[in-house]
Structure 1
Amino acid sequence: MEIPGFDYQRVTVADGVTLNAATAGAGSPVVLLHGFPQTHVMWRHVATDLAADHTVVCLDLRGYGDSDKPADGYAKRVMAADVVTAARVLGHDRFALAGHDRGALVAVRAGLDHPDAVSHLAALDVVPTLDTWDVLHGVSAAVAFHLYLMAQPPGLPEAMISAAPDVFFGHFLDAWSVDPAAIPADVREHYLHSCRAAVPSIVADYRASAGVDVEHDRADRDAGNTLRMPVTVVQQDWGAALGYDARAVWAAWAPDLVHETTTRGHFMAEEAPGEVTKALRDLLTR
């Protein structure tokens, strides 16, 4: 599935790995990274709007969608380097970066590792990896059962998910939506089809976030490293639900922070594209 009006190409980033890239528009560059269990298609409304006055690049992350799915390389540090390299190959040494869910974790790592490349950063409906594990506790952690499942050693999670992939991935598309109509049947099938073909790489992505990604975040926290660029975070009120101050969590990483909550569902770029586009446009003026 493609976003109408966007041009598509393969971009080689590292060790022969190629990413699927969709590009449209002209003006200052904005790179958009999707979340789970989706592909770059989740940005179809926002990307089309932004392309009126920006060069917009939508990528399928390593291991997802139509990008390559190598056996390893799912540390967010590697995936962030993929994004920076892809942008550079496409002619953008410095760019604004927005990510949703898994893509937001990659975006944060890109902002920490490549501050000269990332001019502005937006994260939708997530907290940084290290903090994710800190805020989950007791029965409230049940909402994130998939994090614990996919953190297990190779073998069991892949077998369990592969036994009923549509049930597994479809659960999140249903449970995390406020407006199911925002993901029409053809888009839903595209997401499910893409996930069926990517179970090992999706699990590897999540497994990294229970291991090496935590180590990298902790090293940055211990060193006092923060995101130097303007940052906007838009998320559901998970802080109230899980008993933590979401804005304070983000402020520790992002001194120049705008933090907003939404009443829409997790898939806000599809359920409330106008709200998300406005947040991104406001960010780009800072």
Structure 2
Amino acid sequence: MAPSIPGFAYQRVPVADDVTLNVAVGGSGSPIVLLHGFPQTHLMWRHVAADLAADHTVICPDLRGYGASDKPADTDGTAYAKRTMAADIIALARALGHDRFALAGHDRGALVAFRAALDHPGAITHLACLDVLPTLDMWDVTRGTTAAVGFHLYLMAQPPGLPEQLIAAAPDVFFGHFLDIWAGAPQTIPADIRAAYLDASRNAVTSIVADYRASAGIDIDHDRADHDTGNQLRMPVTVLQQDWGAALGFDAPALWQAWAPDLSHTTVTYGHFMAEEAPEQIAAALRKLTAR
């Protein structure tokens, strides 16, 4: 049996003409939506979600293109734009009866959350972004030999064909590489969860590449338009981040402050998969955010 979040009910929710999301829902109270990163599924939130369910309605979807959610073809370059993926999340929350909700994302999910908060400020009460920079800033600061840590960003930015073929030739090696090097401790991702992540990713190579390709193109255009017009995040924002600046030579809090005037930025010592490595601390940070 595939792993699941204990005590959560699973359903499939249509969010667009060609997309239905797989979602786990549990708990009661004010709503919070949790968006996963790469190369994961909603299961990355399993510990945090169970904790938050004591006083929140917790909604954990697989993003479009990931996990058990639909994976539409990207025929025009917009299917995996973060604007499109963010609209999915707004539609999901509304379908579940929530016009306003807190939103937290990790990695790729944080980029979707960031875009949702910029595009739909009336819907997002609080925003948390875990271990990511806004797309525009990420490309600006990633350069030189230090950019080798983000080789996958450049690989999946290539035109359709080459990256999909290379990754599909050895998907478990490719996706497993990130599960290994980004985990702060070996026990962070147990064998059954790792197997679920690899199985999901192995069957989503095309859509995962399309997600990353969008972040080298259309997502930059959308971020730059907001940057140039001064559009900012209007809600309380919490960012939890490894000390990327020490390695790559930039001031992460300053970059985030330009987007989020009401910002709490914390540099953490956890590994990239912090919701799995330090779930009590992440749940506490999200509770502190939503109490503001």
The TM-score, its normalising length taken from structure 1, stands at 0.99
1:136 to 134, 138, 142: 142
Distance 1:234 1:12 in 2: 31
1:115: which partner in 2?
121
1:49 to 23, 48, 51: 51
Question: Are 2:105 and 2:111, in contact at CA under 8 Å, matched by a contact in 1?
Answer: yes
* Matched positions, count: 286
2:31: which partner in 1?
29
Query: Could you tell which deviates more after superposition, 8-17 or 112-121?
Result: 8-17
2:5: which partner in 1?
3
Q: Which amino acid aligns with 1:190?
A: A
1:174-193 matches, within 5 Å, as 174-193=180-199
**What 5-or-longer segments of structure 1 have no aligned partner?**
none
Question: Are 2:34 and 2:59, in contact at CA under 8 Å, matched by a contact in 1?
Answer: yes
Q: Which amino acid aligns with 1:16?
A: D
1:261: which partner in 2?
267
SS at match of 1:23: strand
Can you list the C-alpha shifts for 1:205-253, whole angstroms capped at 9, x where unaligned? Answer: 0000000000000000000000000000001000111000000000000
Distance 2:56 2:277 in 1: 22
1:82: which partner in 2?
88
Can you list the C-alpha shifts for 1:148-196, whole angstroms capped at 9, x where unaligned? Answer: 0000000000000000000000000011111120100000000000000
Q: Which amino acid aligns with 1:150?
A: M
1:150-169 matches, within 5 Å, as 150-169=156-175
Does residue 238 of the first structure (1) align with residue 247 of the second (2)? no
Q: CA deviation at 1:79?
A: 0.1
Identity among equivalent pairs (%) = 74
Distance 1:130 1:166 in 2: 30
1:214: which partner in 2?
220
Q: CA deviation at 1:86?
A: 0.3
Does residue 124 of the first structure (1) align with residue 130 of the second (2)? yes
SS at match of 1:282: helix
Q: CA deviation at 1:63?
A: 0.1
Please tell me the root mean square deviation across aligned C-alpha atoms, in Å: 0.5
2:69 to 47, 67, 90: 67
Question: Are 2:241 and 2:266, in contact at CA under 8 Å, matched by a contact in 1?
Answer: yes
1:229: which partner in 2?
235
Question: Are 2:131 and 2:272, in contact at CA under 8 Å, matched by a contact in 1?
Answer: yes
Q: Which amino acid aligns with 2:24?
A: A
SS at match of 2:164: helix
Q: CA deviation at 1:16?
A: 2.9
Q: CA deviation at 1:261?
A: 1.1
1:205: which partner in 2?
211
Q: Write out the 4+ residue segments of structure 1 that deviate beyond 3 Å after TM superposition.
A: none
SS at match of 2:259: coil
SS at match of 2:231: coil
**What 5-or-longer segments of structure 2 have no aligned partner?**
none
